[in-house]
Amino acid sequence: MNKVKVAVIGASGYAGLELVRLLVRHPGCDLAALTSLEYPGLPFSQIFPALAGIVDLPFSQESEEEIAARVEVVFTAIPHQAAMGIIPRFLAQGCRVVDLSADFRFREVGLYEKWYQAHTAPELLEEAVYGLPELHREEVRQARLVGNPGCYPTCVVLGLAPLAQARLLQPDSVIADCKSGVSGAGRQVLLGLSFCEVNDGFRAYKVLEHRHTPEMEQELSGLAGTPVKVTFTPHLVPMSRGILGTLYAKLTESRSEGDLRELYRQFYQGHPFVRLLPPGSLPDTRNVRGANFCDLALRVDEEGRRVIVLSVIDNLNKGAAGQAVQNFNLMMGFPETLGLETPPFAP
Ligand SMILES: NC(=O)c1ccc[n+]([C@@H]2O[C@H](COP(=O)([O-])OP(=O)(O)OC[C@H]3O[C@@H](n4cnc5c(N)ncnc54)[C@H](OP(=O)(O)O)[C@@H]3O)[C@@H](O)[C@H]2O)c1
């Protein structure tokens, strides 16, 4: 198999580390450059000893132009705003880009600017493809620039997409009550994320203010053909990885659990990373750790009017790096599961 030379920009962060862990064993990939602002010149394995003897490549000291000249695909795993500052230069030199930040996830610049800041490369928003392969697989294959989805939107949109597309979601009824592990905030040092502040506690944050809300609404509205509002409350739980979404919605028409299971089965047929659990089973973040799966279960009330969907992902994998590799596979014409076959870490 021809190996594609790739660079990971921001390889010293958690999403970057997960990308490197996946890409180093990917049969179609040659890890050609890893970058970090803080550790240029140091071996990757010195910062992440778990990969000693596996990835000893030093963090690059080259300019972006030098990296672009010798790679085909660039993964940007750096904060929003910084990402849109460098991506146009990679594209201009002929690279294809999978961006893990929020900078290229929105179709409307106004929506991005309402929740983030002024966009410095708005001309690229039209061609950027929202990289949720279960919804946009064919566009991803052709994309030059993929805006890899946020972790919470991946969990919530995959959990509700079949209902939205079937016009079964009452558009103002959706409540997404989500819990995330601490790696969702990245590797940055913050007092509120230190061990004693997080361990043995459980709290909500950014209530009605979280920037992933408009991303969920964009994708669910697109599927439903009508504006869908999401009441989203994120919570921080004292675990390293994983997101559990408990998603409540009212249905526009009465349906049995069996009807909805069949709807989900058909919607996700041919999508290898979404697993609808057997009746009676409920998903657990443990069962997707380190893997690109989204596990789903659903329950419907007696009248067939109220549905609760349970959705779990690993925020660093299907919520970030795994999904980015899935997009890379589609862009390169590789099998969608290539390099993503390692089973979850469970238990
Ligand atoms: N964590 C998740 O679960 C998750 C899920 C989905 C998407 N994402 C997105 O993925 C991106 C990376 O997140 P993360 O969680 O991996 O964060 P992180 O652990 O804090 O890592 C950030 C990385 O970006 C680099 N960096 C920081 N500021 C930079 C700048 N101004 N210019 C260039 N590089 C810079 C850092 O390098 P140095 O430390 O060497 O300076 C580090 O490698 C973010 O856009 C985030 O929103 C994260």
* Pocket-testing residue among 8, 37, 90, ligand 1, by greatest number of atoms within 8 A of Cβ: 37
CB-based contacts of 196, cutoff 8 Å, min separation 6: none
CA of 36 to the centre of ligand 1 (A): 10
Q: Whose CA is nearest to atom 34 of ligand 1?
A: 78
CA of 157 to the centre of ligand 1 (A): 23
For residue 62, give Cα distances in angstroms to 12, 37, 97, 228, 327. 16, 11, 18, 45, 26
For residue 257, give Cα distances in angstroms to 103, 175, 247, 266, 300. 38, 19, 15, 14, 5
* Architecture, CATH, for domain 152-315: 2-Layer Sandwich (3.30)
* Architecture, CATH, for domain 4-127: 3-Layer(aba) Sandwich (3.40)
* Pocket-testing residue among 19, 35, 78, 240, ligand 1, by greatest number of atoms within 8 A of Cβ: 78
CB-based contacts of 207, cutoff 8 Å, min separation 6: 233
Segment-wise mean pLDDT, segments of 10 residues, the chain, 347 residues:
95 98 98 97 98 98 96 98 98 98 98 98 98 98 98 98 98 98 95 96 97 98 98 98 98 98 98 97 98 98 97 98 98 98 90
Domain layout of the chain by residue ranges: 4-127, 152-315
CA of 178 to the centre of ligand 1 (A): 22
* Pocket-testing residue among 100, 101, 112, 206, ligand 1, by greatest number of atoms within 8 A of Cβ: 100
How many Å apart are CA 28 and CA 15, to the nearest integer? 20
Question: Ligand 1: residues whose CB is within 6 Å?
Answer: 10, 12-16, 36-39, 77-80, 82, 100-101, 150-151, 183-184, 186-188, 315-316, 319-320
Q: What is the pLDDT of residue 1?
A: 80
Q: Is 151 a catalytic residue?
A: yes
CA of 34 to the centre of ligand 1 (A): 13
CB-based contacts of 29, cutoff 8 Å, min separation 6: 3, 4, 6, 23, 328, 339
Give me the catalytic one of 29, 95, 151, 294. 151
CB-based contacts of 280, cutoff 8 Å, min separation 6: none
Q: What is the pLDDT of residue 270?
A: 98
> In degrees rounded to 5, what are phi and psi of residue 325?
-70, -40
Report the SS3 class of residue 3. Answer: coil
How many Å apart are CA 80 and CA 116, to the nearest integer? 8
Q: What is the pLDDT of residue 2?
A: 86
How many Å apart are CA 117 and CA 74, to the nearest integer? 24
